[in-house]
Chain A
Amino acid sequence: MAEYRTHMKIIGEILATTRDDLQDEDGASVTYLIRKANISHSRISTILKTLVSQGLLEKVDNQGFNKYKISQPGREFLQAYYTFTNFADNFGLSI
């Protein structure tokens, strides 16, 4: 059975991919993130736009293609995300 993922969990997975699982030093492409996060193009576009506007991701223009890298605030957010995911897990909840 497919596992239900909260919006927060999808954001966590995108940020974790851009931090730990990059294709190259320039960042991750949208196609790569779609495959890793397993969500539609339209949905990931909205999320990426939000994450860039919040300063959690950096958009890098690489020969006409957009790539995404995690920023320092993004790393801090991801750290807090892991800490409080564990905290919520203790109460049997998902953040």
Chain B
Amino acid sequence: MEFLLENILNLVGFLVGLAIGIMSYIGFRNTGSPTLFRLSIAFFSISAGFFIIWSGYMVEDFITKTGSIERWIQTLGIAIQTVGYFFIAFSHSIKSFFPKSSYFRSVGIIPLFLVSSVQLEHIFRSVSFILLAYGAIETMLSYFENRNKGAISVAVGLGLLVLGEFVGWYSFVFPESILYSVSMIIKIGGLIALFIPVSKVPLTKIKFDDLE
């Protein structure tokens, strides 16, 4: 059951990320907007991350048959996804929150010395969690300003990805429970919610008003 859900999650993530990435790139090519360029990097990264993890599961299932995915593949996929989440958050001007004082800079170095004792994968997951939560809040705030209904769907999508990650952490505390499956279902729901407003963008609508 978990294997099936993992495959669905990673495949849906790959396809949704790719679709939004292509849409953003088309927008960038048509308008030259740097925001759309950052969005295309973000969603191509997210798509690539999901694809790498999905490939890892496929290799494990059909070739190596070890019973579990290679740890480094999972970590690589999550790291690339984190890059994507960073660019979403960066588009919301996250740079204004970078620590500026020398004290914060020095404290910021400490985790680098602790990496050996903490699994990289969980660090990336934690960073993704923060970036996604930030993106969800900013998107919801923009809805309150513009009342654009599509923004609700994107905010809910990002919010569900955050919730899914949070529930996934709890599954480490209760390993035999249904929590891990629930977290993956929530994440799949989040990805679908992300895709809903994008699916309504009328790319084929290119109709121009009469010149005369």
A residues with CB within 8 A of B: 8, 19, 72, 75-77, 79-81, 83-84, 86-95
Contact = CB atoms under 8 A, between A and B. Distances in A.
B39 A88 contact: yes
7 contacts: A8-B31, A79-B208, A91-B139, A92-B142, A93-B35, A93-B91, A95-B27
A9 to B, nearest CB: 10
Interface of B is mostly: helix
B153 A93 contact: no
Nearest to B141: A92
A34 B206 CA distance: 29
A84 B36 contact: yes
Contacts of B91: 91, 93
Contacts of A95: 27, 31, 33, 35-36
B151 A89 contact: yes
B141 to A, nearest CB: 7
A69 to B, nearest CB: 10
Contacts of A88: 27, 33, 35-36, 39
B186 to A, nearest CB: 20
Contacts of B35: 88, 93-95
A90 B27 contact: no
Contact of A89 (B33, B88, B148): B148
A92 B148 CA distance: 9
